[in-house]
Chains A and B, each alone.
Chain A
Amino acid sequence: EAGVTQFPSHSVIEKGQTVTLRCDPISGHDNLYWYRRVMGKEIKFLLHFVKESKQDESGMPNNRFLAERTGGTYSTLKVQPAELEDSGVYFCASSHARGFTGELFFGEGSRLTVL
């Protein structure tokens, strides 16, 4: 069974440019989470999808971030325009269970560097 995959693994862009990160969850997992870790800081929740619906996006930093999950399969996280403080590692996780009793399966993360 394929795990959670994220693309790209590393992206280097200039301030003001746009970047789109993609996450493919484990097939059949309805729950999809995005997290971010800025260097030296904690892993912070960004948002949670249940199938194609945004269940909770309270962690999204600002309106430069847009997440989608069309068809309830893969998800994209777009940052437009990118700022220096957006640099960090963006993790995606998926789970099957409803609520918070199930294990989260994580991708290896997408490292974003904004110059």
Chain B
Amino acid sequence: AQSVTQLDSHVSVSEGTPVLLRCNYSSSYSPSLFWYVQHPNKGLQLLLKYTSAATLVKGINGFEAEFKKSETSFHLTKPSAHMSDAAEYFCVAPERSGGSYIPTFGRGTSLIVHP
């Protein structure tokens, strides 16, 4: 079963407006959760990670995400979008496979930023 769901395949915002990229996970425990970003023709880069230390996690480039156990969500936000934020964003969570856990990707959300 898919352990992480990204609800939107595309999100379109205007520069300077807030960004919300949604991610929900399914797990019987509080997992480690990650957001990665991929800019065109680049590799995947870690934006931020949650590992149970604090529910509000701050990442690079002004992004942050809040772990909400009651909602099983880990949505990514940014107060003000910049043109350089246009990229694809992936929520990653562990999925049990055999005797171990495998980092499993959501389907990705393309963020489009309009001038």
The interface on chain A, measured as residues whose beta carbon lies within 8 A of the other chain's beta carbons, has a size of 23
Q: Is the Cβ of B43 less than 8 Å from the Cβ of A109?
A: yes
Q: How far is the CA of A42 from the CA of B108 in the complex (A)?
A: 7
Q: Is the Cβ of B101 less than 8 Å from the Cβ of A99?
A: yes
Of chain A, the residue at the smallest CB distance from B104 is A45
Q: Which of B50-99 contact A (CB under 8 A)?
A: 51, 90, 92, 94, 97-98
A-B contact count (CB 8 A): 59
Of chain A, the residue at the smallest CB distance from B93 is A100
Q: Which B residues are within 8 Å of any A CB, using their own CB?
A: 31-32, 34, 36, 41-46, 49, 51, 90, 92, 94, 97-98, 100-108
Given A42-B108, A106-B45, 10 other A-B residues pairs in contact with their CB atoms under 8 A: A45-B102, A45-B105, A55-B100, A56-B100, A58-B98, A91-B43, A100-B101, A104-B34, A104-B103, A109-B43
Q: Which A residues are within 8 Å of any B CB, using their own CB?
A: 4, 33, 35, 42-45, 48, 55-56, 58-59, 91, 93, 99-101, 103-104, 106-109
